[in-house]
Amino acid sequence: MINLHLNFFLDQIIILMGALLLDVAIGEFPEKIHPVVWTGKLIEFVEPHFRKSQNKLLSGTLLVVFVEILFVGAMVLINYALFYVTIVYIIVSVFFVKSSFALRGMRDHIEPIISSIEKNDLEKARLFLSRTVRRETANLPRELICSAAIETISEGLVDGFTGPLFYFSFFFLPGSFFYRVANTFDSEIGYNDDKNRLFGRFAAHLDTVLNYIPSRLTAYISYISAYIIGLRPRSLRLYTVSRKTASRNAGWPMGAFSNIIGVRLEKKGEYILNDDFRYPDVEDVRKALKLHSLTSAIFTLVITVPMLIFLYIFL
């Protein structure tokens, strides 16, 4: 029993390291084999059936529960069905854990924006930016393109990496995929518009609850990263800045990056973080990418791996 217990936790560390190496090596999976894309397609397929109900809040809640049970149940079955076939179990788990986060993918999205700005091709920069943000990008000036890129990097650090790894730390593959499905739902229906205000309310609240701790941990760890790479934060007033956004969580990593790099982050008509700071330029976007990479590494080393060791010792 002791050996089985030890083997399980050693497998989790191997799966985590394998998923990280796979991400560094290839980035995002092709859409045809990407489990998160499958999740999105399933949501699009079944959503109209749930929207037929008159009780939008209940039907939206049931939609989230249905898809979570389907996908997370599959992850649990993988854990049990393949556990005694170690190599197959690890390979399959690496594939699914990797699909729950995107580390290299952030750089792949942001680098073309940086390159386009450096060439003074703002039209192309706006085009690349439009693939990563929800806001209208057609008329954004250079400084707001850079601001949007930094906001994407900082918020995406939680949604695309530290969030899923935080839940992997406690619940392994089912945990990271539960988070990813919830995050996908938030991006699909978690809007406060007439169409989704009730239908997407549960999805939005679930995402808020799940991101509460990871967003704050990520913000504080980013300060550690800043000192390591030689950035001296312009401000430490994180709590005040974090409250400037409508989201209870997004303001934490964005506020931290704004404070650390010393730049004003602005989404027209919605929020301004540190309005007394200068507007960012392309070099600040590069700093944000460095901060993203190192914060991801530190989070893995000081949160995810120690938590796995803690669970091994005390479970």
* pLDDT tens digit sequence for 6-58: 888 999 999 999 999 999 999 999 999 999 999 999 999 999 999 999 999 99
Q: What percent of the chain has pLDDT over 90?
A: 91
Rounded to whole angstroms, how far apart are CA atoms 208 and 252?
12
The whole-number pLDDT of residue 4 equals: 64
Residue where the block lists tokens 């980035």: 27
Mean pLDDT of the chain: 95
Q: What integer pLDDT is reported at residue 1 of this predicted model?
A: 47
Asked whether residue 124 carries a pLDDT value surpassing 70, the answer given is yes
Each residue's pLDDT tens digit, 79-112: 788 878 889 999 999 999 999 999 999 999 999 9
pLDDT at 2: 53
Q: What is the mean pLDDT of residues 197-213?
A: 97
Q: What is the pLDDT of residue 314?
A: 83
3-state class percentages of the chain: helix first, strand second, coil last, to nearest 5: 75, 5, 25
Which phi and psi angles does 263 have, rounded to 5°? Answer: -130, 155
Q: CB within 8 A of 208, min separation 6: which ones?
A: 247, 248, 249
Closest Cα to residue 166, out of 282, 303, 309? 303
H/E segment holding residue 38: helix 35-51
